[in-house]
């Protein structure tokens, strides 16, 4: 698979990564542990070298799964994980934001053990913490990098201002935020800031939490553990109203011999050469479908047609 560099960080990964959260955390039923280990092995065999997890997924169980599965491939893959929430006895309530330097250092040590690595390839702040200046966060990660425990610093869901302030203390390798055909707010100032500073961008939910696959209709039901259960974009009314987005993807797909999901991912890839989406998957057929997006190409006039069509679509429902 094509390799991409995240900005000017020197960190090279597969053009499409793999979000691992739902393999052991989130909407039920979660994946069987041994089946997910085998699945991760198959992802590596198919050229995926970029895997995304976080301490809070579980908490802890997702890092443990990823660490066990990818241990045989150390040196061949890049694992990104995250800090920024409290899961211990001292500090804010469990699940609350916590990016105090002492907490960052604690998470790093524990994540190293769970992931079974000598250094964390990419260490994101999971969410901005209004109680801790971003300069202190960046400074704490800088010390971990100097100590050889972290290789690259990342931010998630950060504003352009926070990105600039953090980058001034410790260069940011990548910013992870939601970005897809139906959620494009990062185009306003986050993507231009990343381009200016030489920072890679990693879209999560690049398939709109599954909606952009074209497989969800207004009859869909969601388990109480599923984030989409109370999501404004997944009410029957919104699903029906947003069908116009799927129709656009299906139209393009018919011309390209591709599925809606492949078109959605390929559209992201063509935006910038330093963008690396991380669709989540637990099934081999879905993984292979997603990876097929890397082979799609668009002519300039096709991209203009897509842009024109998108400009006439108003997506119904807030993202949360």
- In DSSP notation, 146-196 reads HTTSBS-EEEES--HHHHHHHHHHS-EEEEEEE-BTTB-GGGTTHHHHHHH
CB atoms near residue 37 (< 10 Å): 17
Cα 77-82-83 angle, rounded to 5 deg: 150
Any idea what DSSP says for residue 85? B
CATH level 3 topology of 3-208+271-296: TIM Barrel (3.20.20)
The whole-angstrom separation of Cα 53 and Cα 300 is 35
- 57, 124, 179, 204: which is the annotated catalytic residue? 57
**What pLDDT score does 225 carry?**
85
**What pLDDT score does 91 carry?**
75
Ranges of residues in the chain with a pLDDT under 70 are none
**What pLDDT score does 224 carry?**
87
- 33 and 62 Cβ atoms separated by less than 8 Å: no
The whole-angstrom separation of Cα 3 and Cα 83 is 26
**What pLDDT score does 90 carry?**
73
291: CB partners within 8 A, 6+ apart: 1, 16, 46, 47, 48
**What pLDDT score does 29 carry?**
80
Is residue 57 part of the annotated active site? The answer reads yes
**What pLDDT score does 64 carry?**
98
Burial of 25: CB neighbours in 10 Å, binned 0-12, 13-18, 19+: buried
């Amino acid at each position: 698979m094509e390799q991409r560099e995240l900005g000017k960080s020197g960190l090279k990964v597969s053009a499409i990564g793999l979000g691992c959260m739902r393999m052991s955390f989130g909407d039920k039923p979660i994946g069987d542990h041994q089946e997910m280990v085998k699945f991760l092995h198959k992802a590596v065999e198919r050229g995926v070298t970029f895997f995304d997890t976080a301490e809070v997924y579980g908490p802890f169980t997702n890092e443990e799964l990823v660490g066990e599965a990818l241990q045989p491939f150390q040196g061949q893959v890049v694992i990104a994980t995250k800090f920024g929430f409290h899961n211990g006895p001292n500090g804010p309530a469990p699940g609350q934001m916590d990016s105090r330097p002492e907490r960052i250092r604690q998470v790093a040590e524990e994540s190293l053990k769970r992931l079974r690595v000598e250094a964390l390839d990419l260490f994101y702040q999971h969410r901005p913490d209004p109680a801790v200046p971003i300069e202190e966060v960046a400074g704490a990660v800088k010390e971990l990098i100097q100590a050889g425990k972290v290789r690259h610093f990342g931010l998630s869901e950060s504003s352009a201002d926070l990105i600039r302030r953090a980058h001034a203390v410790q260069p940011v390798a990548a910013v992870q935020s939601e970005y897809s055909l139906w959620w494009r707010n990062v185009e306003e100032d986050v993507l231009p800031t990343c381009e200016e500073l030489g920072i890679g961008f990693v879209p999560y939910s690049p398939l709109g939490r599954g909606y952009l696959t074209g497989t969800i209709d207004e009859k869909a039901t969601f388990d109480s553990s599923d984030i989409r259960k109370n999501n404004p974009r997944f009410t029957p009314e919104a699903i029906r109203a947003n069908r116009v987005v799927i129709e656009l993807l299906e139209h393009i797909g018919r011309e390209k011999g591709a599925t809606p999901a492949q078109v959605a991912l390929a559209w992201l890839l063509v935006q910038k050469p330093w963008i690396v989406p991380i669709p989540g998957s637990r099934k081999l057929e879905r993984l292979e479908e997603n990876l097929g997006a890397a082979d799609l190409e668009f002519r300039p006039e096709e991209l203009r047609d897509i842009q024109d069509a998108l400009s006439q679509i108003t997506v119904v429902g807030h993202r949360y």
